[in-house]
Amino acid sequence: FILVFSIILHTTFATNLPRAREATLIEVSSPTEVLIKAAGLGIDKKHSKPKAAVLDQSANDDAAKTAVWFVLIGGSDPLIQTEKEKVAFQKIEEAFFGIDNIRKFISWEADYYDKRLKTDGGKSLKIEKSFKINKALLEEYLVNKSVFQKFTNISASVGMPTIMVIPESNNDIAPLDLLTQNPDIKKGAEVIEAYLSAKQFSVVVPEQQQVLQELSSTQFALGGSDDDYSYLLALSIGSDVYVSYNISISTRIVGTSDVKKAVVGCRAYETTTGRLLGTETGYSQERPSATNAALIEEAMSDAVDKVISRIINYWKTDLKLGIQYKCIINVSNVFDSEQAEEIIFAVGDACKSVASLLKENTVADHTYDISLWVNPEKYPAVSDIYRAIKASYTGEGIVKRVSISRKLILLSVEEE
């Protein structure tokens, strides 16, 4: 009885929530705005014979609510993602969807309908029209209402995620060479940089001379690893996430004009494991006489906005466990296989005493490859982690530092 009553009560009083809840993302207009086509369902409860003006206003208001609802909850990459955020938003959703509040987040709306159709024997009106929604204002509002945690609060304790941006490449040319030699590839990196910077991420676009030495030392420390170039580079410069991308521009003749279209692929990976966080494809419109740069910006904007949503969701989730590091321990060959096994067991125990969570990636005869999640308040610097592991180790030999970067800890166990 109580459950039934609560459902009836919610249905009776939840008058501000959108009715239509049908919408489509048209384009990402900028790092802060998206263009949405939304349906609206107009009703007139005051008159036995519905008034056209009332139906129109009701449908317009409902379409506006639906457009904002789509950005918040309804799309494939909504702003509200975690269960905690959903519960917090439910507490304020009735007031939030008041039409005066909703209008604050609409920066533009079409002055015409894409569709207009009377339904239910003329008692209701269904429309479709387009709106531009300001996502930045939405995020700010939800932070102020404690639905979202303020990113500055997160960054104060653990730092914002550092993201490396690098193009995909085949074996013929290195990605870093593509950045300097191909203007289309360079433009792609610039667009991604702009979007990430607008979201307050720390962005790294590696330059050739800056990273070659670090990359070489990382490969050497990993024993001449054949791992993906981008993955090794991300580890060497200490990014939390790396974003790779590719660009393709096609041309065809329409009538007497050449029209061009850009297609871009954008992928985000977790640096310490190489795990794919999200992949999206973006498209520009076919346009005559358009520059490659304009087409790339249009297509990349569509793709990178969705990938950023995946990165934000990953970062929120991962922070619950602590800061993640990749740690590789090599045991000296002076120890035989049985000794090395006991040493690896002892190293594992030392690492577990430091980590809130430990995941084993590889356990070989003389190599121990793990991922660690560490409390940043207890171990604010990566060197603190090394010191704690070294102090906790009770096995044969001595733990020594090979190399330590922001996300990669390379250690060895040597004979004393």
Domains of the chain by residue range:
2-141, 154-317, 323-414
The CA-CA-CA angle for residues 238, 390, 356, to 5°, reads 65
- What region, left, alpha or beta, does residue 224 occupy, with left being phi > 0 and alpha being psi -120 to 50 degrees? left
Report phi then psi at 256, rounded to 5. Answer: -110, 10
Q: What is the pLDDT at residue 332?
A: 92
Q: What is the pLDDT of residue 4?
A: 45
The first and second tokens of residue 372, run together, are: 């660690």
* Pairing relationship of beta strands 398-404 and 408-414 according to DSSP bridges: antiparallel
Please provide the CATH number assigned to the domain covering 323-414: 3.30.300
Q: Which residues does 82 contact at the CB level (< 8 Å), separation at least 6?
A: 313, 316, 317
Q: Who contacts 348 (Cβ-Cβ below 8 Å, separation ≥6)?
A: 358, 360, 368, 370
SS3 281: strand
Which residues, in sequence order, are CB contacts of 48 under 8 Å at separation 6+?
none
DSSP, collapsed to helix, strand or coil, labels residue 302 as helix
CA distances from 298 to 63, 143, 293 (A): 26, 29, 9
Whose tokens are 């990953």? That residue is 314
Closest CA to 109 of 38, 41, 20, 30: 38
Return the closest-CA partner of residue 165 out of 183, 179, 151.
Answer: 179
SS3 for 111?
A: coil
Note the pLDDT of residue 235.
58
DSSP per-residue string spanning 320-368: TT-EEEEEEEEEPTTS-HHHHHHHHHHHHHHHHHH-SEEEEEEE-SSEE
Q: What CATH code would you report for 154-317? A: 3.40.50.10610
Give me the pLDDT at residue 3, please: 45
φ, ψ dihedrals at 210, nearest 5°: -65, -35
Structure tokens at 223: 């024993």
User: In whole angstroms, how far apart are CA 297 and each of 13, 132, 180, 247?
Assistant: 45, 18, 18, 11
**What 3-state DSSP class applies to 196?**
helix
d(CA 180, CA 75): 37
pLDDT of residue 221: 52
- How high is the mean pLDDT in each 10-residue block of the chain (416 residues)? 44 74 89 92 88 94 97 87 90 95 96 93 93 92 86 55 84 79 91 84 64 49 51 62 92 87 92 81 88 91 83 76 87 93 96 94 90 88 94 95 81 91
Would you tell me how many other CB atoms lie within 10 Å of the CB of residue 328?
22
Residue 78 CB neighbour total at 10 angstroms: 16
The three-class DSSP label of residue 274 is coil
Strands 257-270 and 241-254: antiparallel
Q: Do domains 154-317 and 323-414 have the same CATH topology?
A: no
Give all strands (DSSP E) within 228-336, no chain letters. 241-254, 257-270, 276-283, 287-288, 323-331
Inter-residue contact 404 to 383 (CB < 8 Å): yes
Whole-angstrom distance, CA of residue 391 vs CA of residue 35: 56
User: What is the DSSP pairing of strand 398-404 with strand 115-119?
Assistant: unpaired
DSSP assignment letter at 377: T
